[in-house]
Structure 1
Amino acid sequence: MDSVSDVTNESPRDPLICSAKGCRETAAWVLAWNNPKLHTPERRKTWLACEGHREHLSQFLGVRGFLKDVVPLAEWEETEAGSAADR
């Protein structure tokens, strides 16, 4: 019998942390982006942002033409959970 069990629903997950360099704050936003020189148009990479870094990270991606969407983390997780259920 396999001794590995799925603990995904048995323990709380660690809080998601902001992607800004050196920041340890809990993320509140998802910044969806892609680099059109590297990624297909439908591909979305994500950065997480706390309240304090959302604007800075958005501007960083925006001036490069990479930013596609900024979504509250809770809304993103609901959308992702729905997508996983459809698979």
Structure 2
Amino acid sequence: MDLLGSLSADSAQQGPEQAECSRKGCRLQAQWQVKWNNPKIHTPERRKIWLACAEHREWLENFLKQRLFWRSTEPLETGTASVDGEFRG
């Protein structure tokens, strides 16, 4: 029996209705996209994205800057919450 085939649409896990901050334990609405990459494993043009609320933006940027991973921070615009599907949660 196919486990995926046995799941109904109602039982499928849904994501949050709003984009949430990527800081561990934070469920506040995200306002920023903190873009980064690890140059040891990502091509220079590749950007991973963490979402940040106003409270955790600086913390996430500093975490990435200490590791030389931070690339830019941009406002989160409506409809961009699923960009690249690469969010830390």
Partner of residue 30, structure 2: 27
RMSD: 1.8
Cα distance between partner residues in 1 of 2:60 and 2:28: 14
- TM-score, normalised to structure 1's length? 0.70
Unaligned runs of 5+ in 2: 1-15, 84-89
- TM superposition outliers: structure 1 runs of 4+ over 3 Å: none
Task: Percent identity, please.
Answer: 52
Partner of residue 72, structure 1: 75
Higher helix share: 1
Cα distance between partner residues in 2 of 1:26 and 1:32: 17
Cα distance between partner residues in 2 of 1:24 and 1:17: 5
3-state SS in 2 of match to 1:74: coil
Unaligned runs of 5+ in 1: 1-12, 81-87
Q: What is the one-letter code of the residue matched to 2:72? A: D
Count of residue correspondences: 66
